[in-house]
Amino acid sequence: MSETPTETDWSAGAAYVDGQVMPIKAARIPITDWGYRRSDVTYDVVGVYFGAFFRLDDHVRRFRRSMDKLRMKPEESDEDIKRILTDLVRRTGLREAYVAMDCVRGKPAPHLPYHPAFGRAYLVCFAIPWVWLFSKEQQARGVHAMIAKTPRIPPESVDPTVKNFHWGDLTRALFEAHDAGFETALLLDQEGNLTEGPGYNAFAIINGTVVSPPRGALEGITRLSVKELCEELGIPFETRPIPRAELEEADEILLSTTAGGVMPVSRLGSRILGNDRPGPISAKLRETFWEKRRQGWHATPVDYDAPTT
């Protein structure tokens, strides 16, 4: 006997795969698709906290730009995507959710040329319980990071402004950090300037100014939020190269991502920053970020009582 909607357990998460909605445990893509075989995929992640999406329109716009750059054109419009994501969150009932949208390229049909231009792009979306990149305890005392020996993939090879699954360098750097007893790693480019870390943007705070790298990193939505907060709080903000020597001598270091918000660093390699706790500017930005989120900043509330589609 088929399962009725009221019997379906959505508590672990809900997924949308190429037009079909299902519990997260049932979500699959063909192993022959190029999204899997070749990492021919782009994605975005938007957070739900306090029962509301944060900067949903910004995330969907960036997702569309990424798809356009990779010449992927799924059937769904931007409004369709927002409706799908909202429906998935509503099904789960989660007030704190990690919500992903992927565009995957399939393998060309047998009668077509074996070329990405002939692989159909389709959507895979899901909503699962909230994921913290670093725990609340790590954030409160400051993340312990190091500078990786592994350089970031150059933007001339893989465009970092397009969210992608090319994580070979990031994964290698994470193992470097793990083996050395750190929680994460910051990656430099071939010229020795800061780029980003595995899943987050990074900032150096130097003489009271928050400094962000100009290239080699994702144009993060939370990074944009940090810039807006600096403007609101009267904290100087610059976008310019950050050489390794300057990074190592920074007064504070700050990370930002959807899965964690604004996250201070208290150790970089053997150096203890400040008093081994988040610095004053990092702490103020983190506190303000979450307080404004509670107040509905850039929020799109989820109507959990509306019927699922």
Could you give the number of structural domains in the chain?
2
Is the model's pLDDT at 1 over the cut of 50?
no
- Contacts of 270-273 with C-beta under 8 Å, sequence gap 24+, read 273/142
236 with 219, same domain?
Answer: yes
User: What pLDDT score was predicted for residue 6?
Assistant: 57
Residue 115 has what pLDDT? 97
Residue 304 belongs to a domain: no
- Do 204 and 76 fall into the same domain? no
What pLDDT score does 307 carry?
86
Q: Which of 68, 97, 131 is the last residue of a domain?
A: 131
Is there a single domain that holds both residue 27 and residue 106? yes
Let me know whether 273 and 170 are in one domain.
yes
pLDDT digits (tens, 9 = 90+) for 137-155: 999 999 999 999 999 999 9
The parent domain of residue 222 ranges over 136-294
DSSP, collapsed to helix, strand or coil, labels residue 62 as helix
Is residue 286 assigned to a domain?
yes
- Residue 211 is assigned to a structural domain of this protein: yes
Q: Look at residue 80 and tell me if it is in a domain.
A: yes
Question: With pLDDT > 90 as the criterion, what percentage of the chain qualifies?
Answer: 96
Q: Is residue 58 part of a domain?
A: yes
DSSP string, 204-227: EEETTEEEE-SSSS---HHHHHHH
Answering whether pTM is above 0.85, one says yes
Which CATH number belongs to the domain containing residue 24 in this structure?
3.30.470.10
Distance, C-alpha 220 to centroid of its chain: 8
pLDDT, tens digit, for every residue of 190-247? Answer: 999 999 999 999 999 999 999 999 999 999 999 999 999 999 999 999 999 999 999 9
List, edge to edge, every strand of the sheet that includes 121-129.
20-23, 14-17, 121-129, 97-105, 41-49, 52-54, 299-301
Length of the chain: 309
Do 113 and 165 belong to one domain? no
Given this model, what pLDDT does residue 2 score? 40
Last residue of a domain, one of 104, 131, 158: 131
Give yes or no for residue 274 having a pLDDT over 80. Answer: yes
Asked whether residue 49 carries a pLDDT value surpassing 70, the answer given is: yes
Element (H, E) at 177: helix 168-179
Whether 4 shows a pLDDT value over 70: the answer reads: no
Residue 51 and residue 60: Cα distance in Å, rounded? 18
pLDDT 10s digits, 73-110: 999 999 999 999 999 999 999 999 999 999 999 999 99
Q: Are 119 and 170 found together in one domain?
A: no
Q: How high is the mean pLDDT of the chain?
A: 96
Cβ contact 242:211 at 8 Å: yes
My answer on whether 288 and 159 are in the same domain is: yes
